[in-house]
Amino acid sequence: MVDVVPLRKHPPVGDIIGQLRQMANWIESGEVEARSALFIIPSDGDWPEVYGWGEHLGDYGNIAICEITKTWFINNLVAR
């Protein structure tokens, strides 16, 4: 009998469903705290699809979260 050794502990980044399941497990276990969540799916040539769960932050709150996230990306990923 051959023992199969998993090569990775987590699903690959391209496995969106697996990544979402992993995040759900982390939230359920308390490893990640989440009172609300936004899920954004880009659409070519159209507006993105946006889904939200949990505590509703309101339109301005959702916009603020997107702006804070954009600022994080700029500060952490853009070459200076």
Which of 24, 52, 54, 22 has its CA nearest to residue 40? 52
Is the pLDDT at 1 greater than 90? The verdict is no
Question: Are the C-beta atoms of 41 and 49 separated by less than 8 Å?
Answer: yes
Please state the rounded mean pLDDT for residues 56-71: 96
Which distant-in-sequence residues (6+ apart) come within 8 Å of 12 by Cβ? Answer: 18
> What is the residue-averaged pLDDT of the chain?
93
Q: What is the pLDDT of residues 4-28, one digit of tens each?
A: 777 778 899 999 999 999 999 999 9
Report pLDDT for 79. 77
Rounded to two decimals, the pTM is: 0.76
